[in-house]
Chains A and B, each alone.
Chain A
Amino acid sequence: MKWPAMGYARAKSLAELWSALDAHGSAGQIIAGGQTLLATLAFRLSEPSTLIDITGIPELRGISVQGGALRLGALTLHADLCCDPLVKAHAPLLAAAAPLIAHPAIRNRGTIGGSLAYADPAAELPACVIALDATVITVSAKGERRVPAAAFFTDLLQTALEPQEIIAAVEFPLTKRLGAIEEIARRSGDYAMAGLAATLHLEAGRVIKPRLVYFGVGKIPVLAAAAAKALEGRSLDTASISAVQAALAEDLDPPQDLHGPPEMKRHLARVLTERVLQGFLREKVQAA
C-alpha cells in the first residue's frame, strides 16, 4: 500500500515543536527514527495530516553523565547503545540488548525514545529501562515530568505520555549491579517469543533488589514481583532459581500468539529465568 498524502514539518527546537503540535492537533504525528511509524503508515493504520520531525531538536540528543545519572537523549540510536563508552560503563545491559534489536539498518535509525513511546511489549528497551530502574524524562509545553520506568508503560502500546508530550531523555542511576538480557526468538532480529532483562546486586553472596523484567509475555513488560520476592535475600543457587521459576506463575499471564499458547510462554519464561540466573551464578563463581 502507499502512504496517504500528508504534510511534513521539521521542528528545530522544542518551541517550534510546541507550535507545530498546536497547529496540527491530534492529526499531527511525531516522527523520529520512523522504524515503526513508516510501516504502519504504509499499512494505512493511521492517516495523520502531518508528520512532525523531531530529529533536528538538539535538546533531545546526547549521551552524558550528569547529576549522578547516565542521561540518554530520546534521539539516541539503538546503534549508539552498543558502542558508546558511557553506556558500556554505566548501563552495559543496554549495550547487551542493542544487538538483539532487529537488524543493523533498523538500529541505525531507530531511537530509544521511539521504542519507549511505541511501547511494544515484545521490545527489548522497555524491559531494559524497567530492569535498570530508569526514569523517563518527558517534556511538553507545560514543562518536564519525571516518570519512573516501571510506571511508564500502562497498557498494550500505551504509556504515561500525555497528549502533546514527548520523551526528552532517559536517566539511569549509576548503580553498580549485575545485568543480563536473554531472549528466545524464531530468527535473529525477530521480536522475542519471550525475553528477560534482569538486574540484581550480590552482597555477601545474597541477592539484593533483583529486578526481573519479562518481555513478549504480556501487554506491557512485566516486572515480576513475586519472583523478585522469592529471590530477595537468598543466595543464588538451584533452589532459589526453582523458587523464582515457581513464583512466576503469579507474575505472568501471557496471551496466546502465533508462536504458541500461554503455557508455552510461561515455560519459556522459566527457561530464561534459569539461563539468566545461572549466568549470574557462573559470573559469581568466576569472580570468586
Chain B
Amino acid sequence: MNEITPASIGLSREDLPNSYIGRSVPRPNVPKLVQGRATYTDDVTLPRMLHAAFLRSPHAHAKFSAIDTARAKAVPGVFRVFTGHDLAKICDPWVATLDHLKGMKSAPQYPLPLNHATWQGEPIVAVVAESRAAAEDGVAALDIEFEALAAQTDMETALAAGTVVIHPELGDNLVFTRTAESGDVAAAFAAAHKVVEARFVTGRHTGVTLEPRSIIADYNPADETLTVYHSTQAPHMMQGVFAKQLRMKEGDVRVICKDVGGSFGIKVHVYPDEVAVAAMARIMGRPVKFVADRFESFVSDIHARDHRIKGRLAVDTEGRVLAFDIDDLTGIGPYSVYPRTSAIEGNQVVNLCGGPYDFKNYRCTTTVVLQNKTPTCQYRAVGHPIATAVTEGLMDLAAEALGMDPVELRRRNLIRDDAYPYTSPPGMRFEGLSHHASLNKLLEMVPLDRIRADQAEARQRGVYRGIGFASFIELTNPSPFMYGIGGARISAQDGCTVRMDPDGSIVASSGVTEQGQGTEAILAQIVAHGVGVPVNRVKIITGDTQTTPYGGGTWACRGAGIGGEAALQSAIALKQQILEVAGAMLQAAPETLDIAMGEITDKASGKPRMTLFELGRIVYFRGDTLPKDLQRELVQTRHFITKEYPFAFTNGIQASWVEVDPATGMVKLLEHWCVEDCGRVVNPMLVDEQVRGGIVQGIGGALYEHCVYDAEGNLLTTTLADYLVPMSAEMPEIHVGHVETPTRESLLGAKGAGEAGTAGAPAAIMNAINDALKPLNARVHEQPFTPERILRALGTIA
C-alpha cells in the first residue's frame, strides 16, 4: 500500500487539482448563511412546543422563600410555573471542580436556586407559556419577596476577615489558588540590574455572540428519550451533562446542534437556565424553547477576564530576563462554572506568563475568589490576553528602564528557534515554536523606520503616536491534560467517519462543530484532498450526537488540529479502501492506482481508468460481479488524540500603531500587524480571518468592552448602547503573516489559529498607547483603556 507522508499526499504542493490543503477554498456553507437560509436553533419549531421565560434576580445577593405563582398561572397563555424546588425533584445539582486543580472548591448549583440568589440576573423562577411574550407576561405577574443581603463585589476584599461569605458552607470565598515556582526568584531579583513592576487590570467582559444562547429540549415519554436542539460548541459533552443531571442514560439523550451564530467560548458551558429547560421538558413531556435576549445575555452569559495582576520583572545589564514574579487575583462570580470550572483562566495565567522568553526563575500565584457577579469562565483565548498583557507590559517597562529598544529586548530574550523541545519554567512543553522567524517576518511587514520618523515628526505638531509589540504563545490542540485528568467528561479525542455513496460523492461526519468560523469548510477541503475528489462532492455532517463520532466539539483551538487530523486519516483510509476495490476491478495492484478529481487514475501516467461513479455503481448494485472475499465497505472511521504533548503550543507576535489624543483621551487605531505560526495552514483565507476576528475581539477588551458593576453588584452595562463592542468604523487595517511550523504529532501538522489574535492584541495596543504617551510621562495598565483612564493618567482629571 502507499506510504503515507505529508509529501505523498501532496501537502507540500498545490499541483493536483484536488490538492486543497493550503488553499483558500471558499466556504461551502457561506451562501446559506448570507442568504438567510441557515437553520439556527430558534428557527426550529416543534409540535406542541412551549416557550420559557425566567424571572431573574434583581439583587446581587438575596434570600427568598415564598413564591406566589397564582397570578402568573392565571395569565392567558401561561401553561406552568417552575421553581427551584420543582426542578430539584428530577434534576441534580452540579459542582464545578476539577481533581487536578488541587484544593479547588465550589458550591452545588441547581438549575434554579432553592432560596439563595447570588448574582443579579440569576434565573430564579421559570414560566412556560404558548409564546415567549405570554411567558414574559407570566414572569411579570410572579410575586416573590427577596430579602436583599450585603453583596461581595470587590475581589480584593473577598478573603478579608468579616467579609460576606457567599456560600457559608464553603467556609470562605476562596475557590482555588496555585503557585508555580521554579529557580531562585528572590536571588534573581536581588542580583538584578533593573527591576520593574506594575499593577495591571483586565476588564470583565463577555462574548456577545450574534445568535444568543438558544435551546429546545424535547422529552418523549413514549421512548424515554430527550432530544435537545442546542446552540452549543460541544454537543457530546452536553449529552453527558443532560443525562447525568436528569438521571438518564447517556444513550437516551441526543443533542442536535444546527447552525450556530458565533460562540467564542460562551457556548461551551452548562447554564442553569438551559438545564432548567431540559428539566421542564422532561417533566412535561413537551418541547420547551428558550432563546436568551440581549438583556439576559449580558447578565447570564459567562463573563471573563476580571483580573488584577501585580507583576515584577528582573533583568541584567545585557537586558536578559532573570525572573518574573506575578501575583494574579480574579473574581469569578458566585459559582465555578460547570464542567470546565472557572479556575482555568487563572491557572492559564500561571502557565503562560513569560511564555515567549528563555529564563529560569519564575513565581506566579493565582488566587480565584467568589463574588456576587455573573459567573466567569472560558472565553476566547482563556487567560492568554491577561498573561500576554502582563508579560509584554513588563517587557516594555524593562526596555525603558534599560534604555533599550523594545524590539531588541525581545530579540535577546525570545526562546531560540532551534531550542526545541523546550520546557518553560511553569512546566509547559513546547514542541516547536518560531519566535525569531515570526519577529523577523513582522519586521519585514512593519515599516518601523518610517513609523519612528513619522512619530517624531508628529510629536513636533503635538500629535502623539505610538507603536507597541507583543509576543505571545497560544495553547491549542489540548490533550486530556486539560480537563479529562480532572475527572470531567470532556473528550480530547475526536473522530470522523467518511463514506463514499453510489454516485461517488463523499459524506463525512465529524465530532467537531461549526459556529460560523468555517470548520465544515476545512473538513471538506481535507476530506476532498485525502480521498481525491472535487471539494464540491463532499458533504459534511457535524453537530449531532447520534450521527457523528464521539468527540469534544470545537473549543480551545482544536477543530483543525484534532478534528482535521481525524478527517484526514479517515479520508486516506477510505481512499485506500477504494483503491483496493478498484484494483480488483481493474486487475491492477492498488498501489499503482490513485484517485484524482473523482476518478481512479493510473498513478504513474495519470491516465484515467474509472470514475468513482462507475465504481459506486458496481459496489452498491452489482456486488455479485466482485470477488467474493473482497472487502468492499466504502466507509472508514478514524479517531485522533494528541499523545506526545499535552498541548500544541503556537506562537506569534503582534504590532499596533496608534494615535492618542491627549486632549480627549481617545485612542485611534492606525494599523495592526500579526504574524502567527499555527503550523500547517489548511485554508489561508479562513486563518487570516480568524486572526483578524480574534484581533478585533482583543481590541474590544483593550478599548471598549466592559461589564461595569456598581458597588452593590448591579450590572450597569446591559444593552449594546452601554456595552461597547468594537465596530468596523474604528477598526484599523490588519495585516496578517504566517510562519508554518507543523506539529509532528499529526500528518496534517495543523495547530489552532482561533485565539492568537485575541491573545496578543490588548498587549500590543497597551504598549502602543504607552509609547505614544511617553513624552507626556503617562502610562496606562488598566483595561479597557478608556478616555477617562487616559485622562487620569495624564493628570488632566483627578
> 1/0 contact trace for B763-798 toward A, CB 8 Å?
000000000000000000000001110010000111
Q: Indicate if the CB atoms of A187 and B133 lie closer than 8 Å.
A: no
CB <8 Å contact, B724 and A271: no
A268 touches B664 (CB 8 A): yes
Asked if B161 lies at the interface with its beta carbon under 8 angstroms from chain A, I say no
Q: A4-B133, A258-B717, A260-B787 are in contact. Are A188 and B295 (CB under 8 A)?
A: no
User: When the two chains form their complex, are residues A258 and B708 in contact, meaning their CB atoms are under 8 A apart?
Assistant: yes
In angstroms, how far is the closest chain B Cβ from the Cβ of A121?
14
B136 at the interface (CB under 8 A from A): yes
In contact, A43 and B295 (Cβ under 8 angstroms): yes
A190 to B721, CA, bound (A): 8
| Contact bitstring A1-20, B, C-beta under 8 A = 1, else 0 | 11111000000000000000
Interchain CB contact (< 8 A) of B133 among A3, A184, A268: A3
> When the two chains form their complex, are residues A271 and B663 in contact, meaning their CB atoms are under 8 A apart?
yes
Task: Report Cα–Cα, A259/B798, bound state, in Å.
Answer: 14
Interface membership of B30, Cβ < 8 A: no
A44 within 8 A of B: yes
Q: Would A187 and B730 be within 8 Å (CB), given that A1-B136, A258-B722 are in contact?
A: yes
Return A89 CB to nearest CB of chain B, in Å. Answer: 29
Tell me if A261 counts as interface (CB < 8 A to partner B): yes
Q: Scan A255-269; emit 1 where CB is below 8 A from any B CB, else 0.
A: 000111101100110
The one of A44, A190, A268 that contacts B724, using a Cβ cutoff of 8 Å = A190
Q: Using known A-B contacts A2-B132, A44-B136, A259-B786, determine if residue A189 contacts B797 with beta carbons closer than 8 Å.
A: no
With A and B bound together, what is the CA distance between A273 and B663 in angstroms? 12
Task: Tell whether, in the assembled complex, residue B664 and residue A271 are in contact, meaning their CB atoms are under 8 Å apart.
Answer: yes
Interface size on A, residues (CB 8 A): 24
Contacts of B140 in A (CB 8 A): 44
Contact with A along B639-673 (1 / 0, CB 8 A): 00000000000000000000000011010000000
Give the docked Cα–Cα distance between A39 and B779 (Å): 39
Answer whether residue B704 sits at the interface, using C-beta atoms and an 8 A cutoff: yes
The answer to whether residues A184 and B666 also contact, given A1-B295, A3-B133, A4-B137 and a CB cut-off of 8 A, is yes
Main secondary structure on chain B at its contact with chain A? loop
Contacts of B716 in A (CB 8 A): 258
Q: Are A264 and B788 in contact, CB atoms less than 8 angstroms apart?
A: yes
A184 contacts B295, CB within 8 Å? no
User: How far apart are the CA atoms of A260 and B729 in the complex, in Å?
Assistant: 23
Q: Are A2 and B136 in contact (CB under 8 A)?
A: yes
Cβ of A187 and Cβ of B704 under 8 Å apart?
Answer: yes
With a cutoff of 8 Å between Cβ atoms, the chain B residues found around residue A268 in the complex are: 664
A142 at the interface (CB under 8 A from B): no
CB < 8 Å neighbour of B787 from A5, A188, A189, A259: A259
The answer to the question of A180 belonging to the interface, with a C-beta cut-off of 8 Å to chain B, is no
Bound state CA distance, A236 and B358, in angstroms? 60
Q: Which residues of B contact A264 (CB under 8 A)?
A: 787-788, 791, 797
| CB neighbours of A260 from chain B (8 A) | 786-788, 791, 797
Q: Whole-angstrom distance between the alpha carbons of A221 and B662 in the complex?
A: 26
Q: Is B147 an interface residue (CB 8 A)?
A: no
Q: Please tell me if the beta carbons of B664 and A188 are within 8 angstroms of each other in the complex.
A: no
Given A1-B136, A187-B729, A263 contacting B787 (CB threshold 8 A)? no
- A185 nearest CB neighbor, chain B only: B666
Task: Give the complex CA separation of A2 and B136 in angstroms.
Answer: 8
Tell me whether A267 and B295 are in contact (CB under 8 A): no
Smallest CB separation, B54 vs chain A (Å): 11
Please name the residue on chain B nearest to A275 by beta carbon.
B663
Q: Please measure, in the bound complex, the distance between the C-alpha atom of A191 and the C-alpha atom of B666, giving whole angstroms.
A: 15
Which positions 394-447 of chain B face chain A at CB distance < 8 Å? none
Cβ–Cβ < 8 Å partners of A5 in chain B: 133
B293 at the binding interface (Cβ < 8 Å): yes
Across the interface, B797 reaches (CB within 8 A) one of A3, A44, A190, A267, namely A267
Instruction: Give Cα A216–Cα B474 distance, bound, in whole angstroms.
Output: 42
User: Which residues in B have their C-beta under 8 angstroms from that of A261?
Assistant: 788, 797
A267 contacts B791, C-beta separation under 8 Å: yes
> Which chain A residues lie closer than 8 Å to B729 at the CB level?
187-189
Given A187-B727, A268-B664, A1 contacting B796 (CB threshold 8 A): no
A39 to B797 CA separation, bound complex (whole angstroms): 35
With contact pairs A260-B797, A267-B797 given, residues A187 and B293 touching in the complex (Cβ less than 8 Å): no
**Beta-carbon contact of B727 and A188 below 8 Å:** yes
Bound CA–CA A188/B722 (angstroms): 14
- Give the CA-CA distance A265 to B293 in the complex, in Å: 33
Docked Cα-Cα span, A186 to B797, in Å, equals: 18
In the complex, whether A77 has a CB less than 8 A from a CB of chain B is no
Determine the residue in chain B with the shortest Cβ distance to A265. B797
B535-561 vs A, CB cutoff 8 Å, 1 = contact: the mask equals 000000000000000000000000000
Known: A4-B137, A261-B797. A184 touches B717 (CB 8 A): no
- Considering the complex, give the chain A residue whose CB is closest to the CB of B730: A187
The contact string, 1 if C-beta is below 8 Å from chain B, for chain A 131-155, is 0000000000000000000000000
Q: A193 contacts the other chain (Cβ, under 8 Å)?
A: yes
Complex contact B787–A191 (CB within 8 A): no
Q: Which of A43, A187, A259 meets B788, CB within 8 Å?
A: A259
- The 0/1 profile, CB within 8 Å of A marked 1, for residues 719-744 of chain B is 00110101101100000000000000
Q: Which residues of A contact B137 (CB under 8 A)?
A: 4
A186 touches B704 (CB 8 A): yes
Known pairs A260-B788, A268-B664; A191 contacts B133 (CB<8 A): no
Nearest first, the 9 A-B pairs at minimum CB distance are: A260-B788, A2-B133, A188-B729, A271-B663, A263-B797, A264-B797, A2-B132, A187-B727, A184-B664
Further pairs besides A186-B704, A188-B727: 14, Cβ < 8 Å: A1-B295, A2-B131, A4-B136, A43-B295, A184-B666, A184-B787, A187-B704, A187-B727, A187-B730, A191-B721, A193-B787, A258-B708, A260-B788, A268-B664
Jot down 10 A-B pairs with beta carbons below 8 A, ordered by A.
A1-B293, A1-B295, A2-B136, A186-B704, A258-B717, A259-B787, A261-B788, A261-B797, A267-B797, A268-B664
